[in-house]
Copies of this chain bind each other. A is one copy, B any other.
Amino acid sequence: MSFIKEQIKTIRKNDPALTSTLEVFLYPCFKALLYYKISHYFYKKKHFFIARYISEKAKRKTGIEIHPGAIIGKNLFIDHGTGVVIGETAIIGNNVTMFHGVTLGGTGKQKGKRHPTIGNNVLIGCGAKILGNITIGNNAKIGANAVVLKDVPENVTVVGIPGRIL
């Protein structure tokens, strides 16, 4: 129940197009995070097949693919969501907002922790790709379609391919 309340609060705060609380239940973000909570539970119990089955089902229904192994903080808001991919070893802080098409992925060169760590209050624009075991500092903003392959310090804005600090 606390998850539902948190999501209602998060979506109300973030989306100016929202007209009523009931609409929250239509949001792909809401559904995807609900499925993630279940898949993450099975993942921690090492029931990997059922965990993955649930996450693939969530992806078909919402367009948002969150690996059951990812670790996600409070108040994540994923707007629209189609094409979002969050990798197995990604870690997301609190109050993060991301748009459709965002990837927290790997570069294929690393083993173990091979996906990014995202700080608190980070905003990630639509289509941005953040790749590898890198860290995005608190309050950073990542521009639309940016490709980020290196650590990003706190409080900066990063845009372009490869991402450069504005």
Contacts and interface: CB of A to CB of B under 8 A. Distances in A.
Interface of A: 16-17, 19-20, 22-23, 26, 28, 48-49, 52-53, 56, 59-63, 65, 67, 69, 80, 82-83, 85, 87-88, 99-101, 103, 105-106, 108, 111, 114, 123, 125-127, 129, 131, 143-147, 159-162
A129 B126 contact: yes
Across the A-B interface, the 5 shortest Cβ-Cβ residue pairs:
A19-B48, A129-B144, A82-B83, A17-B88, A26-B56
Contacts of A59: 28, 63, 82
A157 B114 CA distance: 21
A52 B67 contact: no
